[in-house]
Amino acid sequence: MSDHPAEILTIDEVAVYLKVGKRTVYRLASSGRVPAFKLGGTWRFRRAELDQWIASQIGEATDSADEGAGK
């Protein structure tokens, strides 16, 4: 994979990138939990949107940890 921010990824490439199974990526895309779009009936993902999604997930995890610690 290149580091081009406008890069469009397939389910297989996203699974490798996120280090999860293809079924997990498909389930996340189908439920709208990860930014994705369909092109010709197959899921596609913009790398930049995935990176933003990852950052927001990390932020949510940090916020939850802070709340659990009474902050």
Q: Assess if residue 44 is contained within a domain.
A: yes
66 CB neighbour count, 10 Å cutoff? 10
Asked whether the predicted pLDDT for residue 71 surpasses 90, the reply is no
Mean pLDDT of 10-32: 97
Residue 57 domain-assigned (yes or no): yes
Question: Edge-to-edge, what's the strand order for the sheet holding 8-9?
Answer: 8-9, 42-46, 37-39
Whether 3 is in a domain gets the answer: no
CATH number of the domain at 39, please. 1.10.1660
Higher pLDDT, 5 or 43: 43
Answer yes or no: is 41 within a domain: yes
| 1 belongs to a structural domain | no
In angstroms, the Cα distances linking 64 to 25, 34, 54 are: 23, 19, 15
Please tell me the pTM assigned to this model.
0.77
Give me the long-range contacts of 14-21 (CB less than 8 A, separation at least 24): 14/45, 14/50, 17/47, 17/50, 18/50
Number of domains in the chain: 1
Q: Could you report the per-residue pLDDT of 42-63, keeping only the tens digit for each?
A: 999 999 999 999 999 998 777 7
Q: What pLDDT shows up at residue 59?
A: 86
Residues of the domain holding 16: 8-68
Q: Assess if residue 49 is contained within a domain.
A: yes
